[in-house]
Structure 1
Amino acid sequence: MLSVTIDDATIPILGLGTAPMTGRKCRVAVKQALELGYRHVDTAQMYGNEDAVGAGIAAAAVDRADVFVTTKLNRSNLASEKALSSVEASLDRLNMAYIDLLLIHAPSNRTPIAETIEAMNDLQERSLVHHIGVSNFSVKQTKAAIEASATPLVTNQVKYNPYNRQDELLEFCIDRDVSLTAYTPLAKGRVANDETLVAIGERYGKTGAQVALRWLLQQSNVIAIPKASSAEHLQENLDVFDFELTDEEMDAVFAVEGGLVDRFRGLFRG
């Protein structure tokens, strides 16, 4: 699995998103994903599935050390003491000694970013959390989080797909050496029937969804975490490393819905 390296964090560029799966469905999907080759699993306190994610990882024939696990602080747990206690509860539910990446799930008007970041840094000092980041943050908010932290922020997780562009944020992340993790990368299935994506996919024997994922993964600093529950879709999402879009095809996807493309020349992965 290819990865993005931010500071000393090595993050697989394709992961499994688990919202809104819970219970047995989530546990089985996580186990299947790992056995197919995934090494990055994303969950959150808000999803109510950390226990199922942990059980799925434990059931797979893969060492815990080889799996990059992300979870997120619920907005109600951003105050210092709640952040600390809620992560300990997350670790209990996951049945793990540490979390690879802890994110602020979304900014709050009630709790200053600096207060939450300080608590996350404390969790890092205690080795309960290895890396930290944010989710659903604007450029301004991401900058504030970076400036508040004693350690590097390694990602900002946001909705990103051909219909939900993140131009300014992605440029900022590249400039500040932060990854951008794309959730809902398949636009809830919408990309599968997009005429442009389908036409490109036909040249490679790939689906429109696979083209959308490949488009994301060829962009510098971008990680994608599509949700899938069936073995078929898990494998389909994984089968995006045996072809490469040309610059012209990348531009064509950028231009879906009338997007601009010129500013992204040179920002594609090699």
Structure 2
Amino acid sequence: MKPPAPSPSITDLRSMTPARVALGRAGASLPTSALLAFTLDHARARDAVHAVFDADRIVAELGELGLAAWRVQSRVNNRQDYLRRPDLGRRLDEASARLLAERSAGASRLALVIGDGLSPTSVHAHALRLLGHLVPELVARDVPVGPVVVASGARVALGDEIGAILAARMVVMLIGERPGLSAPDSLGAYLTFAPRVGVTDAGRNCVSNIHRAGLDYAEAAHKIAWLAGEGLAREQTGVALKDESGDRTSRLVT
């Protein structure tokens, strides 16, 4: 008779999740190794929030992909303002709004924005690699990509004003997500049809958790392009548009 398979152990569970489970104890406290690991992850998350956004580097790398880029700035003056006054990160400063108005060529199907958000680290690590997969997916769906707007001091809603000034039918904002203890470099993509100042989160779709241990670039690009194409066709995003892109074989991030 074949012996029964051994029951899953705590070690098996720990190998399946980055969550902090079965850390053990030393007396009434955590083991030193667990405490040091927590402290290191916390420091990485704080560093990601306070990292300096290298917008010039992003613009240069976009040029290497054959994409023109325009730099803009929200109304925040520094990182401290950004963290204390989220409202200032949702609106463009006057010079940036004027720049976009002057360069706008009229109505467009899609405006693509890259913003630093709460983790400039994630933008530096993933935004351009994601675009390498996303641009061909959008073109295949007859959604051409024009100049990319690179926004400093950006919150998600800053894309609404940018899209409105550019008279875009849809805005796609790639932005650094709030760092977590298991993922300080997670990138998110937010899609909004008919962008305008005052749109609520109910009017957006989000593809999140894009990083090396999360959603890979190819799968993320497929989901974003599907949502963009369907959102434009149906003239809606948010709670009215469900992700029906389907599962595709996940591929390793390169």
Shorter-chain TM-score above 0.5: no
TM-score, normalization by structure 2? 0.29
Whose helix proportion is higher, 1 or 2?
A: 1
Mark the structure with the bigger radius of gyration: 2
TM-score, normalization by structure 1? 0.28
